[in-house]
Structure 1
Amino acid sequence: MSWHLGRLAGFDLETTGVDVETDRIVTACVVQCGGGQPTASASWMADPGIEIPEGASNVHGITTERARAEGKPAAEVVADVLAALGQVIAAGIPIVAMNARYDLTLLDREARRHGLTPLPAAHVVDPLVLDKHLDRFREGSRTLTALCDHYDVRLDGAHSADADAVAACRLAWRMGSTRSDLAALPLDTLHSQQAAWAAEQATSLADYFRRTPGKEHQADGVRSEWPLIPHQQDGDL
């Protein structure tokens, strides 16, 4: 059976910002769907322990005051998310995450911050990487909302972790359903191919920044690793 017809586990975070090294989890969702079984979803809200900037609150709707009043301690949420994803990995279910490099790296840093064991290696399906490979030269935005519009996939409420996680699974299913070349790949191969495609995409983006006046400085910040940016130990170069 093709990977897209089996069980999928959507994963999404809403956070305090976009820096995977310093920002924190605000909300998280792990949702299992497909494979002829009922959908099972788990969501969390954390008190991140730092102020949530207004810009981030405007995106996901969670203020510092609300997170402090309703959120669980950050360490508990991180432990719960790691446990949920650990069960998924143990069951051989692929993790589906839009722009997986961001969410999985930030989760890794949160685990280390709280003295928890980071996730083991997993099969990952990233609709962003797949879309850039399948339709490299398409102009326009490639946000989750834009991809859902392009692939005619329902997005019930952008920028909430649960809605985004489900939408990522729907995108992965749609791509597998409409591209027999993707559907035919074993998960091991699909994962390794995405790592290669993500590296190519990063190289292309960095080259674009270098030749674009005013954006040259952004080239050095482009990372090619996927689905996780390796953690730099103290003293590493």
Structure 2
Amino acid sequence: MSTPSWLDRPLLGFDTETTGTDVAADRIVTVALVHSVGPGRAHETVATWLIDPGMDIPEPAQRVHGISTAHAREHGMEPSAALAEVAEMLADALRKDVPIVAFNGSFDLQILENELRRLGLPTLAERLRHDIAPVVDPLVIDRALDRWRKGKRRLVDLIELYGVQQDGALHTADVDVSATLDVLRALAAKFPEIARADLAELHQKQISWHRESAESFNRYLQKQGKTPDAKETWPL
């Protein structure tokens, strides 16, 4: 009798939409946490937060997620209250060994930790009193296990590659999370070793896979005469 996979147990999907891509200076505008206990939307419970970031949302960011400065100011929560709730829900899941699933999750976790520090709140790592784990990032896994595939690796590209059905527009945080969970399951179907892996072991493998990918990209940048700036640590 085969051992049940961690994919058959609860997962917590996580995504943010932000004012930009600088994890040190930008702010979170929306957060979605999707608790999944099985494949398909019928097995998901969604929690979302709209946050007033306390700064203007630049036009490029508005075009991505559709949230204006005026809308966030009128309808958004105060950041401290919202992000304290988010951090505690993430911490509670990780304490129960429920993995955080996030596409390019290093970005979302870094900006969350920076926001919590800025607001004088305990960070996720401080709440856990250990490293943030287990985290599962379909982008890291896809880069490692389908290394030589040509083309881009955005979430929209993997959705198309794996034939994932979308419900709603991407760059709405909850839609992105549901699609990420589906992409993860599709990856595990293509690469069964993912489903068979121990969660702690898979987390450690992703650390190595990300480092190898970043080192390779930095070597490429050096050859092009550019500054190697790919961060080699993951998820923080």
| Residue 141 (structure 1) shift | 1.0
* CA offset digits 1:149-169 (Å, max 9, x no partner): 111112332101100111111
Instruction: Please state whether the residue corresponding to 2:35 is helix, strand or coil.
Output: strand
Counterpart in 1 of 2:176? 164
Counterpart in 2 of 1:20? 23
| Greater mean alpha carbon deviation, residues 113-122 or residues 32-41 | 32-41
* CA offset digits 1:192-216 (Å, max 9, x no partner): 0000000001011111111225xx0
| Residue 11 (structure 1) shift | 0.2
Q: Are positions 1:69 and 2:74 aligned together?
A: yes
Within 5 Å, give how 1:137-176 maps onto structure 2.
137-156=148-167, 157-176=169-188
Query: CA 1:71 to 1:35, structure 2 compared with 1: closer, same or farther past 3 Å?
Result: same
Contact 1:145 1:155 in 2 (8 A): no
Q: Which amino acid aligns with 1:223?
A: K
Instruction: Please state whether the residue corresponding to 1:159 is helix, strand or coil.
Output: coil
Count how many residue pairs are aligned between Structure 1 and Structure 2: 224
Q: Are positions 1:31 and 2:34 aligned together?
A: yes
Within 5 Å, give how 1:96-115 maps onto structure 2.
96-115=101-120
Contact 1:5 1:173 in 2 (8 A): no
| Residue 12 (structure 1) shift | 0.2
Instruction: Please state whether the residue corresponding to 1:50 is helix, strand or coil.
Output: coil
Counterpart in 2 of 1:133? 144
Contact 1:130 1:194 in 2 (8 A): yes
Give the gaps of 5 or more residues in structure 1.
229-237
Counterpart-to-counterpart distance in 2, 1:52 and 1:10? 25
| Residue 87 (structure 1) shift | 1.9
| Residue 138 (structure 1) shift | 1.0
Q: Are positions 1:208 and 2:211 aligned together?
A: no
Counterpart in 2 of 1:223? 231
Aligned with 1:83 (options 85, 88, 94): 88
Counterpart in 1 of 2:208? 196
| Greater mean alpha carbon deviation, residues 190-199 or residues 166-175 | 166-175
Runs in 1 of length 4+ with deviation above 3 angstroms? 35-38
* CA offset digits 1:15-66 (Å, max 9, x no partner): 0000011110000000011348831110000000011100000000001111
Aligned with 1:55 (options 60, 69, 82): 60
Contact 2:9 2:38 in 1 (8 A): yes
* CA offset digits 1:72-108 (Å, max 9, x no partner): 0111111111122122112211000000110001100
Q: Which amino acid aligns with 1:5?
A: D
Q: Which amino acid aligns with 1:55?
A: P
Counterpart-to-counterpart distance in 1, 2:165 and 2:223? 37
Counterpart in 2 of 1:180? 192
Instruction: Please state whether the residue corresponding to 1:29 is helix, strand or coil.
Output: strand
Contact 2:38 2:44 in 1 (8 A): no
Computed over aligned residues only, the root mean square deviation of the Cα atoms, in angstroms, reads 1.4
| Residue 140 (structure 1) shift | 0.9
Q: TM-score, normalised by structure 2?
A: 0.91
Counterpart-to-counterpart distance in 1, 2:230 and 2:155? 20
Q: Which amino acid aligns with 2:234?
A: W
Instruction: Please state whether the residue corresponding to 1:72 is helix, strand or coil.
Output: coil
Q: TM-score, normalised by structure 1?
A: 0.91
Counterpart-to-counterpart distance in 2, 1:109 and 1:2? 33
